[in-house]
């Protein structure tokens, strides 16, 4: 079946201006030719270190940031060519949940007013229906309607993220892009919010893109996981394949850093050294070559192709024949 979301060749280049005339002489290639699909009802995890382009990718899907190049097809509609007013309608169906709910909730507004806003913006229901819906969704995310008259500062971090989730749900979206929704929360609270998100997905038939900086967080919630490095997709596979038989040296290194729950399962450790290079000046060829323990001559010269190596398992690495240009 047709995927709910199809992303093809997505790029975001930010110009770097310099000198008195502000001449553009370089670009930060924040996202550089990223493609993937998301099926209805599934969760795609996108993982990578800060600066890998995962948040930029998420924002471009909703056109909160304009892509430099590429296509985004959502529910049969190509989004990058829509006018602003056409795009506003689509934003009913795609909503975002942010890392820091406190920063995204107006401190001077009551929760009721905050949750009402998307209904006002999209002109959904009359005032009475809107109020009813606010109370309904407060309950759905595990809060109570008596919380409606309170202000964001009166809630804990976990409760605030529940409010952020409720706000995203108000318009009955199909797709939720959650950008590190639990990264700012205590570990014990993380599990509660993840469980809530899974319950909501099942009950409301939601599709998720779940962005995170570590592979541990997305494992249980994702059907498939993509790993990004310096603006490129390094590997994408079913969650099982990615964690059991990672192909890309970067994924292998990230997994070596995740605590293994089963002590009998010992992974051969791939250790990477050094910092992430600047996306303004990414390494030639494979962008990971400056840190890769398996680097070969070809790696600094030729960009590996992101190619399907096994069914549903794609990777961009010269260790695999499919990635080497003919
Ligand atoms: Fe390492 Fe080369 Fe593969 Fe890049 S292409 S990950 S440098 S082996
Ligand atoms: Mg980010």
Residue range 140-187, pLDDT digits in tens: 999 999 999 999 999 999 999 999 999 999 999 999 999 999 998 998
pLDDT digits 0-9 by tens, 92-101: 999 999 987 7
Overall residue count recorded for the chain in this entry: 326
Is ligand 1 within 6 A of the CB of residue 295?
yes
The DSSP H or E segment spanning 26 is strand 23-38
Q: How far apart are CA 103 and CA 176, in angstroms?
A: 19
Token pair of 155 as six digits: 């809630």
Pocket test for ligand 1, best of 304, 323, 324 (most atoms within 8 A of CB): 304
pLDDT digits 0-9 by tens, 58-78: 999 999 999 999 999 999 999
pLDDT of residue 16: 84
With b meaning 16 or more CB within 10 Å and e meaning fewer, what string describes 61-98?
bbbebebbebebbbeeeebbebeeeebeebbbbbbbbb
pLDDT of residue 87: 95
Which atom of ligand 1 has the smallest separation from the CA of 293?
1
- pLDDT at residue 265 is higher than 80: no
Token pair of 86 as six digits: 């056409």
Is ligand 1 within 6 A of the CB of residue 178?
no
Is ligand 1 within 6 A of the CB of residue 288?
yes
Q: What is the 293 CA–ligand 1 centroid distance (Å)?
A: 8
- ipTM value, please give it: 0.96
pLDDT of residue 270: 65
Split at pLDDT 50, 70, 90, the class of 256 is: confident
Is ligand 1 within 6 A of the CB of residue 143?
no
Split at pLDDT 50, 70, 90, the class of 309 is: very high
pLDDT of residue 262: 54
Which atom of ligand 1 has the smallest separation from the CA of 234?
6
Q: Which residues contact 297 (CB under 8 A, 6 or more apart)?
A: none
Q: How far apart are CA 85 and CA 293, in angstroms?
A: 49
Phi, psi of 118 (to 5 degrees): -60, -30
Q: What is the 298 CA–ligand 1 centroid distance (Å)?
A: 9
Give first-to-last CA distance, the chain, whole Å: 31
- Which bound ligand lies closest to the C-alpha atom of 179? 2
Q: How far apart are CA 131 and CA 135, in angstroms?
A: 6
- pLDDT at residue 291 is higher than 90: yes
pLDDT digits 0-9 by tens, 192-228: 999 999 999 999 999 999 999 989 989 999 999 999 9
- pLDDT at residue 43 is higher than 70: yes
Q: What is the DSSP letter of 105?
A: S
- pLDDT at residue 255 is higher than 80: yes
**Which of these, 204, 256, 233, 174, lies nearest to 47 by C-alpha position?**
233
pLDDT of residue 29: 92
Q: How far apart are CA 37 and CA 51, in angstroms?
A: 22
Its pTM surpasses 0.90 = yes
Domain assignments of the chain as residue spans, ordered by start: 5-323
- pLDDT at residue 84 is higher than 70: yes
- Out of 3.40.50.360, 3.65.10.10, 3.40.640.10, 3.40.50.300, select the CATH number for domain 5-323: 3.40.50.300
Is ligand 1 within 6 A of the CB of residue 299?
yes
pLDDT digits 0-9 by tens, 233-245: 999 999 999 999 9
- Which bound ligand lies closest to the C-alpha atom of 184? 2
Pocket test for ligand 1, best of 227, 293, 295, 316 (most atoms within 8 A of CB): 295
Place of tokens 């971090």: 157
- The Cα-based distances of 115 to 51, 121, 282, 301 in angstroms read 31, 11, 42, 52
- Which bound ligand lies closest to the C-alpha atom of 285? 1
Mapping DSSP to helix (H, G, I), strand (E, B) and coil, where does residue 177 land? strand
Q: What is the 316 CA–ligand 2 centroid distance (Å)?
A: 22
Split at pLDDT 50, 70, 90, the class of 268 is: low
Q: What is the mean pLDDT of the chain?
A: 92
Q: What is the 244 CA–ligand 2 centroid distance (Å)?
A: 26
**Which of these, 215, 214, 182, lies nearest to 198 by C-alpha position?**
182
Is ligand 1 within 6 A of the CB of residue 316?
no
- pLDDT at residue 275 is higher than 90: no
pLDDT of residue 288: 96
- Which amino acid residue places its CA nearest to atom 7 of ligand 1? 289
Place of tokens 């680097």: 295
**Which of these, 179, 311, 146, lies nearest to 240 by C-alpha position?**
311
Counting Cα atoms < 13 Å in the Cβ hemisphere of 227 gives: 28
Is ligand 1 within 6 A of the CB of residue 247?
no
Q: How far apart are CA 186 and CA 145, in angstroms?
A: 25
């Amino acid at each position: 079946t047709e995927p709910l979301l199809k992303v093809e060749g997505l790029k975001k280049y930010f110009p770097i201006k310099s000198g008195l005339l502000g001449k553009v002489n370089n670009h930060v290639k924040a996202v550089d030719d990223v493609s993937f699909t998301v099926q209805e009802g599934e969760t795609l995890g996108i993982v990578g270190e800060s600066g890998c382009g995962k948040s930029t990718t998420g924002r471009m899907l909703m056109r909160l940031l304009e892509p430099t190049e590429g296509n985004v097809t959502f529910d049969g509609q190509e989004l990058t060519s829509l006018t602003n007013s056409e795009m506003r309608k689509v934003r009913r169906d795609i909503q975002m949940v942010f890392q820091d709910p406190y920063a995204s909730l107006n401190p001077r507004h009551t929760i009721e007013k905050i949750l009402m806003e998307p209904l006002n913006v999209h002109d959904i229901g009359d005032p009475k229906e809107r109020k009813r819906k606010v109370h309904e969704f407060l309950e759905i995310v595990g809060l109570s309607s008596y919380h409606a008259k309170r202000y964001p500062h009166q809630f804990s971090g976990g409760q605030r993220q529940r409010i952020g989730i409720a706000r995203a749900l108000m318009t009955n979206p199909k797709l939720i892009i959650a950008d590190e929704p639990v990264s700012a929360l205590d570990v014990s609270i993380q599990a509660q919010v993840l469980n809530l998100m899974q319950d909501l997905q099942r009950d409301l038939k939601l599709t998720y893109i779940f962005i995170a900086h570590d592979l541990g967080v997305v494992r249980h919630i994702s059907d498939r996981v993509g790993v990004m490095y310096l603006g490129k997709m390094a590997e994408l596979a079913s969650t099982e394949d990615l964690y059991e038989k990672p192909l890309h040296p970067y994924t292998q290194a990230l997994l070596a850093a995740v605590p293994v729950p089963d002590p009998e399962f010992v992974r051969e450790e791939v250790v990477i050294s050094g910092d992430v290079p600047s996306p303004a000046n990414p390494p030639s060829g494979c962008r990971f070559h400056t840190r890769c323990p398996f680097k070969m001559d070809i790696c600094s010269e030729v960009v590996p192709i992101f190619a399907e190596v096994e069914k549903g398992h794609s990777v961009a690495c010269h260790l695999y024949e499919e990635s080497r240009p003919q």
